[in-house]
Amino acid sequence: MSNDPNTARSSVNLRAGRIEIQQLPAVLPRRPTLVFLHEGLGSITQWREYPAHLAARTGCAALIYSRFGYGRSDPVRLPRPLRYMHDEAFVLSELVERTGISDHILVGHSDGGSIALIYAALTPAPGLLGVITEAAHVFCEAKTVAAIERARVDFTSGGLRTALVRHHGDNTDAAFFGWCDAWLDPAFRDWDIRPLLGSIRVPVLALQGADDEYGTGLQPDAIRQRAGAGAEVRIVPQCGHAPHRDQLRPTLDAMTAFVERIGERGA
């Protein structure tokens, strides 16, 4: 199995346009599909080999996709609405239906984790078994805003933009400013999905790096306290905003154990 950026990518036509996807086949029968939701500046290629590693360890199929305005998916108009993550949860529902996925577990990083939680609370397709988040945000913190302000300086000076172009191509500027300008809008300080968490009816695993530069432990604490079907929290030591990159082995072990438990319930 490979998550090489040039391997097994295709697209799906949804109501709002074309979404870039990559699918990895299941190794074992009757296993759920892992659906990967990337971070606020992410795409299929920025997951690197991680989806293939987790799929191989669990025997599951995998669906990785680039949201509208990212990677090779269709572009979006700016500015993004401040409820863009709610909108993306409805897009995910349509994508799951259109690709014919039944039992599935979401794996969401940062914004992708927030979208996964909103989806589980408001728009779950039949067959949702569980949610895994990495560095998910459930409310807007001053630390997050400060980190995004630094990212904006890095992007406009050219360094970050150069790094992102190879993943997003013509979508690069819209991907960055769609994310950045939403989070830096003063009205976004009131963004808060904690009231939704009690409606989640599937187990949740929330991972957070101990040194996450984009958020504090208040985020996974809120998930643990409020998720309707219960949540397990793992704080990953010596780890920043991306546990699957910063601490591959413990992250892979934690996710594998969760998928094994939840997958058995769905079999």
In a domain, 1, yes or no: no
pLDDT over 70 at 6, yes or no: no
pLDDT over 80 at 267, yes or no: no
| Structural domain total, the chain | 1
91-95 — which CB contacts under 8 Å span 24+ positions? 91/14, 91/16, 91/19, 91/67, 92/35, 92/37, 92/116, 92/119, 92/123, 93/119, 93/123, 93/124, 93/125, 94/14, 94/15, 95/12, 95/14, 95/19, 95/21, 95/63, 95/65
CATH number at residue 217: 3.40.50.1820
Q: What is the domain range of residue 172?
A: 9-266
- What is the pLDDT, as a whole number, of residue 266? 53
Spatial strand order in the sheet of 231-236: 9-14, 17-24, 61-66, 33-37, 104-109, 128-134, 204-209, 231-236
- Examine residue 51 and say whether the peptide bond preceding it is cis (omega within 30 degrees of 0): no
Q: Which amino acid is at 237?
A: P
- Kindly report, residue by residue over 120-176, the tens digit of the pLDDT: 999 999 999 999 999 999 999 999 999 999 999 999 998 999 999 999 999 999 999
Mean pLDDT of all residues in 178-188: 98
In a domain, 3, yes or no: no
- Kindly report, residue by residue over 210-250, the tens digit of the pLDDT: 999 999 999 999 999 999 999 999 999 999 999 999 999 99
- What is the pLDDT, as a whole number, of residue 158? 84
| Token pair 């109501």: residue | 15
- What is the pLDDT, as a whole number, of residue 4? 47
In a domain, 127, yes or no: yes
In a domain, 156, yes or no: yes
Q: What is the token pair recorded at 183?
A: 């989070």
Q: Does this model's pTM top 0.85?
A: yes
In a domain, 116, yes or no: yes
**What percentage of residues in the chain have a pLDDT greater than 90?**
94
263 — pLDDT class (breaks 50, 70, 90): confident
- What is the pLDDT, as a whole number, of residue 2? 40
In a domain, 2, yes or no: no
- Kindly report, residue by residue over 67-116, the tens digit of the pLDDT: 999 999 999 999 999 999 999 999 999 999 999 999 999 999 999 999 99
Q: Can you list the alpha helix ranges (DSSP code H) found in 198-247?
A: 218-226, 243-246
Mean pLDDT of the chain: 95
In a domain, 128, yes or no: yes
In a domain, 75, yes or no: yes
pLDDT over 60 at 265, yes or no: no
| Cα–Cα distance, 194 to 224 (Å, whole number) | 11
- What is the pLDDT, as a whole number, of residue 154? 96
